[in-house]
């Protein structure tokens, strides 16, 4: 599997540089719009195939996993209102629910998001440190793969 990553939400997409849509006006004057695909959301896999985001996500209860999924879907649609940079190419998406869930990711250009892990407000600094380590590992392996071609 190239770059040890895998799609999580094949339907989750985002707007990179604005709304791209095809629209139709029906006889009743209502405009219907279909939004096209823009960004892929993938999960980081460590060298041993371990998927830290999936492990964290699978540990959530059903309500928390619904809230996190909704946040990922919104990110995929271009809504980055709850996202901020935490440094070193890593971003944090704040999920306004429960103990303050966070999702950490890196961006590969404007069209690919790599999920690095998750956590809560209480363990925020540890989660950020781990996400930064994973992002550095991802970029290093990507460079190595490119040099090997």
Give tens-digit pLDDT for 25-75: 555 666 666 555 577 899 999 989 999 999 999 999 999 999 999 999 998
**Closest residue by Cα to residue 36 from 55, 54, 18:** 18
Mean pLDDT (the chain) is 82
Gyration radius from the chain CA atoms: 17
pLDDT at residue number 3: 38
Q: Are 60 and 68 in contact (CB under 8 A)?
A: yes
Q: Grade residue 17 by pLDDT with cuts at 50, 70 and 90.
A: very low
**Closest residue by Cα to residue 77 from 123, 119, 19:** 19
Q: How many domains does the chain have?
A: 1
Host H or E run for residue 84: strand 83-87
Q: What is the pTM of this model?
A: 0.76
**Domain of residue 115, residue span:** 2-148
């Amino acid at each position: 599997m190239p770059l040890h990553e895998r799609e999580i939400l094949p339907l989750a997409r985002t707007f990179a540089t604005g709304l791209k849509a095809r629209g139709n006006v029906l006889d009743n004057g209502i405009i219907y719009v279909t939004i096209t695909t823009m960004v892929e959301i993938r999960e980081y896999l460590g060298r041993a195939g371990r998927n830290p985001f999936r492990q964290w996500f699978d540990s959530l209860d059903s309500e928390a996993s619904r809230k996190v999924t909704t946040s990922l879907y919104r990110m995929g649609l271009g809504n980055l209102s709850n996202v901020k940079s935490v440094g070193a190419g890593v971003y944090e998406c704040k999920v306004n629910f429960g103990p303050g869930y966070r999702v950490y990711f890196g961006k590969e250009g404007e069209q690919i998001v790599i999920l690095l892990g998750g956590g809560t407000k209480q363990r925020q600094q540890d989660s950020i440190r781990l996400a930064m380590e994973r992002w550095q590992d991802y970029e290093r392996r990507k460079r190595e793969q490119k040099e090997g071609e």
